[in-house]
Amino acid sequence: MIEKKVEVSVLYDYYQELLTKTQQNIIELYFNYDLSLTEIAEEIGISRQAVYDHIKRTEKLLFEYEEKLQMVQGDKGRREKIQELLKEMEELQHRDQDPMLHRAFEKIREQLEQL
């Protein structure tokens, strides 16, 4: 259950702008503020069942967005490739003592870590 909450929160971070304001509000309250269905229902003035239905539909929608757009998966792949490149650069730095090369590697490392 916790893993799914984390996964939905990550998907929400990527795709929240594609959701309606109501969907955003309910997902924020449920996943980010950990409010119960009853608390959310009271907060926004709808039934507990309606909150539950909104959450389930929005979760499904977020997973569909990821399936089609693959922004989370693509980002994960890029981060993995960046880590591989950084590891290779470190190995090259240890083999070569050229100060210019070390400075160039440090600049590249800084730029990669900002991505």
Task: Quick: pLDDT tens for 68-83.
Answer: 999 998 888 888 888 8
Q: Distance between CA atoms of 86 and 62, rounded to whole angstroms?
A: 32
For residue 101, give the nearest of 89, 112, 110, 111 by alpha carbon. 89
pLDDT digits (tens, 9 = 90+) for 51-65: 999 999 999 999 999
Query: Is CATH 1.10.10.10 correct for 2-69?
Result: yes
Angle made by CA atoms 106, 111, 115, in degrees to the nearest 5: 140
For 15, 28, 44, 77, 79, the CA distances from 68, given in Å and listed in that order, are: 12, 23, 31, 16, 20
pTM above 0.85, yes or no: no
76 phi/psi in degrees, rounded to 5: -60, -45
